[in-house]
Structure 1
Amino acid sequence: MPASRQILTVVQMRAAEQALIDAGTSVDALMQVAGRGAAEWVWRLAGRRPVTVLCGPGNNGGDGYVIAETIRERGGEVAVIAAAPPATDAARNAAALYGGTVLDADAEASGDLLVDCLYGSGLTRPLSAADFGRLSRLAAAHPHRIAIDVPSGVQSDSGMMLNPGLPDYDLTVALGAWKFAHFLMPASAAMGALRLVPIGVAPVAGTAQVIDRPRVAAPAADSHKYRRGLLAVVGGAMPGAAILAATAAQGGGAGYVKLFASSKRNVPADLVVDGGPVAEVLSDDRNGAVLIGPGLGRDGEARERLAVALADPVPLLVDADALVLLSPRLMAGRSAPTVATPHEGELVALERAFDCDGGGSRPDRAAALARASGMVIVAKGSDTVIAAPDRRLACAPRASSWLSTAGTGDVLAGAIASRLATGVEPFAAACEGVWLHGEAARRCPPGFTAGALAGRVAEALAACL
């Protein structure tokens, strides 16, 4: 995995920086690389408009002094407010190299852009009343705001806001590596655009990753529909949801999508419907994957269909109603890969079913459930996390908030299941489907419906070729 895609905890980041220092790089040199890299983004946003840099006592404050000096060298108008004197050697050295104005902690300042270098990713306690008031006052006095590494008052590993009412930002510049807070709610909603400044951190084994645009090859010249992958979609009491999932799957790369349903009503002409017994549909040895859950219902017939689907020795995606019905007993004896796509309520239900305590951050919860259940878990929502039983972990970039409408989860299920049917291994298929879902949303106009979203999955796939 490229270093630019890894997500590091605070402990991992400190170890990665120490590895650079042990290899001969000084803390001061790392601070210069990080600060000058961040200054590039500050300069782009501010130009020659006045910049205020709020510096704390630690190395994040030291980065702020480097940023301010870089802006000053370029002829920009910049002032530093020192919330406290520098308390580390590197921060003191950076402050000594800054040749511009340093204002007292409670100085009033206004300008076009505030750069928040008060505290960095190591913060574990709420801001003091004085620091919170200072940050809030300066944020209100500047129409544009940039956070360096993570916004002050945010817990890096969990995305928690340690103080209520923290300001929001136009841009957050991560230093060295991504942190979990960049992708987890509620913090990520306040960060604006995200940019990464590399400082030479090497890839770290076993880290989480950011989901990136997948690389998808066009079908081989001699491909046919079965070779590209047959996906069986098991419908149920509410056929519309299964139709949405199947429509999305058609655009996700599978060569053949077959819907098991009792009626062809409202089904697109190019979607094959099989009304036979579900056991016969799922006994087709040409199936590349099975999708069950959207519109399934929760009655006895739904339970029977789920049991039959779990018995099929091909990759299976379990969504919606099927997640509520799922249990360790039903999973017993299943050896083929399974992907589950729960929203928060379904995630809680699965945690109870598989005896997980539900504690910790969202990545912690998804990882614990993946290990307990043996499934790849796609904990979907405004901050989607994917966890595999083998401890692989991924976070999705923030997607369009217009996805918060009925049916978009069915579209996600179809996109992931389609990638499964093409033969992509389950964790990668989940990552690819999540990316396609987000990209399809980006290509839709505001106020889109789930049907419109499903129709854009093929466009998202084309962007990966």
Structure 2
Amino acid sequence: MLLLTPEEMGRADRLAAESGIDSYGLMIRAGHAVSAAFLRLYPAALRADVLCGPGNNGGDGYIAAEALKQAGVEVALFHLGDPENLKGDARRAFQACSIDGKPVEDYRPAAGAVIIDALFGAGLQRPLSDALCMLISQVNEAAEPVIAVDLPSGISGLTGKVQGAAFSAAHTVTFMRAKPGHFLLPGREHCGRLDVFDIGIPQRILEEAGGGHHLNGPDLFASALPALTASSHKFRRGHLGVFSGGPSASGAARLSATAGLRTGAGLVTLAVPPNAAMVVANQVTAVMLKAVPDVAALDEWLEDKRLSAFVLGPGFGVGEKARAFVSALASRPLVLDADGISSFADEPDALFALLSGADPHCVLTPHEGEFARLFPDIAADDNIGKPEKARRAAERANAIVLYKGADTVIAAPDGRIAINANAPPWLATAGSGDVLAGIIGGLLAQGTPAFEAACAGAWLHGQAAKRAGEGLTAEDLPNHLPPLSGVS
């Protein structure tokens, strides 16, 4: 589940060399992995067109080209810049390649060929030249299959952003560990099928080189999920409080409450304005009701120490009441979503002050617009990607930040980052975020730590959508949540 940024992968390469591992041997294995992918995926291809860049990615390409020639494949080789200027292992790979190359500017895609993109890989952080953008556009328009080495050229391995233009690969072959750019949008859409090959760098070196980036999945949170025992009863399974808006705005909170119950909270109570009680009572059964008209009533309710977590925001309404309720709840495990976030748009520092000085126990779940309202300067920084934005926001807020989207990112103030990539596109439907808030709240209520609850919530949300299938509505999601006992 560990992801390596391009900088971290470079550090891993250096550490491997310092430990005595032959770096050129690693390049040979990488190039052979590319050639093997070509032979496996496209046995009937008429030709391999190998585009080699001016660095180690190009070195992988030269190795792959020579291996394909030795396997009897017709190979056409094209190089960016003068290959005589190559250094180190890339130069050795070029010298070991017996194929005469041509300048990449001369390349034109041809029918029946498979293109191996070994121009830049994951480390690119600058826009491509106009000439390369035109070449990439021609290749993409020709729709001939592309195998990308490490990452499609033009995609940042750190942020997933397109640097002017990028190949649309059918397959991407990377080495040892995937990079954030493989899963962040729009990079993910350019990678096609991703294969990760082990070329021989030990796990201990990867862990020493790596930081806090992970692909979200059960390895991150399964050990923190609640487990039922013979002595379990409803109060031991936690009591979740979910706050509702008025009579015409209770649907979002009801979705959250149902999701919290389905996730395993022993009791769930909807806290409603008195004028919404009868409307909500006609819509719920296992979820309990509590009239909480104001902060005084909330303070009285909070004297019940069996209440273990809360969800505030879905359909609640934006304004002073929301801010006052958050102030009363700030020391308790809390999912702050939607209107709860927007209520602090004009004074985000007031929210951050409420959450400061304690271990992070609040989960903020902003979408793009809400994130920009709460963290305007971070959102406007085009020099950093979504993971770094989420990390900085989490540090500032002293909270877990679940930055929603098709490439949801979860970040903790201590630097842990998880990129969630299991959500199908049909999850983008009204009310799905309310369900997500309820799932996380249900886990918090059962004692799951905030970062793990947020990671598990995002992953379970995606799995429920896959199980429900295309055409789902938010009401379908809670009924398709996988059982926690089966998550591993």
Q: CA deviation at 1:140?
A: 3.4
Within a 5 Å distance, the mapping from 1:52-63 to structure 2 comes to 52-63=49-60
Give per-residue Cα distances to partners, 1:386-421, cap 9 Å, x unaligned: 111122222222632222221111121112222212
Q: CA deviation at 1:65?
A: 2.4
Q: 2:436 aligns with which of 408, 412, 425?
A: 412
Give SS of 2:162's match: coil
> What residue in structure 2 maps to residue 171 of structure 1?
171
| 2:418 matches 1:394 | yes
Structure 2 unmatched runs, 5+: none
Cα 1:39/1:448, change in 2 over 3 Å: farther
Is 1:38–1:197's contact at 8 Å kept on the other side of the alignment? no
Within a 5 Å distance, the mapping from 1:138-217 to structure 2 comes to 138-164=139-165, 166-199=166-199, 200=201, 201-203=205-207, 204=209, 206-213=211-218, 214-215=221-222, 216=225
Moved more, 416-425 or 38-47: 38-47
| 2:487 matches 1:464 | yes
Q: Distance in 2 between matches of 1:74 and 1:463?
A: 45
Cα 1:44/1:297, change in 2 over 3 Å: farther
Is 1:110–1:138's contact at 8 Å kept on the other side of the alignment? no
Q: 2:304 aligns with which of 268, 284, 287?
A: 284
Cα 1:19/1:305, change in 2 over 3 Å: same
Cα 1:72/1:220, change in 2 over 3 Å: farther
Q: Distance in 2 between matches of 1:218 and 1:73?
A: 56
Give SS of 1:223's match: coil
Moved more, 427-436 or 218-227: 218-227
Q: 1:230 aligns with which of 211, 236, 239?
A: 239
Is 1:231–1:254's contact at 8 Å kept on the other side of the alignment? yes
Cα 1:257/1:101, change in 2 over 3 Å: farther
| 2:39 matches 1:43 | yes
Is 1:356–1:372's contact at 8 Å kept on the other side of the alignment? no
Give SS of 1:173's match: strand
Q: CA deviation at 1:462?
A: 5.7
Q: CA deviation at 1:163?
A: 1.0
| 2:267 matches 1:251 | no
Q: CA deviation at 1:64?
A: 1.6
Aligned residues: 455
Give SS of 1:391's match: coil
Structure 2 residue identity aligned to 1:321 = D
Q: CA deviation at 1:343?
A: 0.7
| 2:375 matches 1:375 | no
Q: CA deviation at 1:307?
A: 2.9
Report the TM-score when normalising by structure 1.
0.89
Within a 5 Å distance, the mapping from 1:358-373 to structure 2 comes to 358-359=380-381, 360-373=384-397
> What residue in structure 2 maps to residue 260 of structure 1?
271
Give per-residue Cα distances to partners, 1:17-75, cap 9 Å, x unaligned: 10001111232111122222344443332234344322222211111222334444555
> What residue in structure 2 maps to residue 33 of structure 1?
29
Structure 1 residue identity aligned to 2:233 = H
> What residue in structure 1 maps to residue 252 of structure 2?
241
Q: CA deviation at 1:378?
A: 0.8
Structure 1 residue identity aligned to 2:79 = A
> What residue in structure 2 maps to residue 272 of structure 1?
288
Cα 1:366/1:295, change in 2 over 3 Å: same
Q: Distance in 2 between matches of 1:62 and 1:225?
A: 61
Q: CA deviation at 1:242?
A: 0.8
Moved more, 100-109 or 144-153: 100-109
Q: 2:324 aligns with which of 269, 283, 304?
A: 304
Structure 1 residue identity aligned to 2:206 = A
Q: Distance in 2 between matches of 1:11 and 1:63?
A: 18
Give SS of 1:317's match: strand
Structure 2 residue identity aligned to 1:260 = A
Moved more, 283-292 or 200-209: 200-209
Q: 2:77 aligns with which of 80, 93, 104?
A: 80
> What residue in structure 2 maps to residue 321 of structure 1?
339
Cα 1:299/1:46, change in 2 over 3 Å: same
Cα 1:95/1:373, change in 2 over 3 Å: same
Moved more, 87-96 or 411-420: 87-96
Q: Distance in 2 between matches of 1:125 and 1:330?
A: 37
Q: CA deviation at 1:152?
A: 0.8
Is 2:309–2:334's contact at 8 Å kept on the other side of the alignment? yes
Give SS of 1:225's match: coil
Within a 5 Å distance, the mapping from 1:430-441 to structure 2 comes to 430-441=454-465
Q: Distance in 1 between matches of 2:50 and 2:473?
A: 43
Structure 1 residue identity aligned to 2:350 = R
Structure 2 residue identity aligned to 1:43 = L
Q: Distance in 2 between matches of 1:371 and 1:358?
A: 17
Q: Distance in 1 between matches of 2:147 and 2:282?
A: 49
What's the RMSD between the two structures over aligned residues?
2.6
Q: Percent identity among equivalent residues?
A: 36
Q: Distance in 2 between matches of 1:401 and 1:42?
A: 29
> What residue in structure 2 maps to residue 117 of structure 1?
118
Moved more, 340-349 or 97-106: 97-106
Report the TM-score when normalising by structure 2.
0.85
Cα 1:268/1:172, change in 2 over 3 Å: farther
Cα 1:23/1:120, change in 2 over 3 Å: same
Cα 1:357/1:171, change in 2 over 3 Å: closer
Q: CA deviation at 1:240?
A: 0.6
> What residue in structure 1 maps to residue 11 of structure 2?
15
Q: CA deviation at 1:206?
A: 3.4
Q: CA deviation at 1:347?
A: 0.8
Cα 1:308/1:107, change in 2 over 3 Å: closer
| 2:321 matches 1:295 | no
Structure 1 unmatched runs, 5+: none
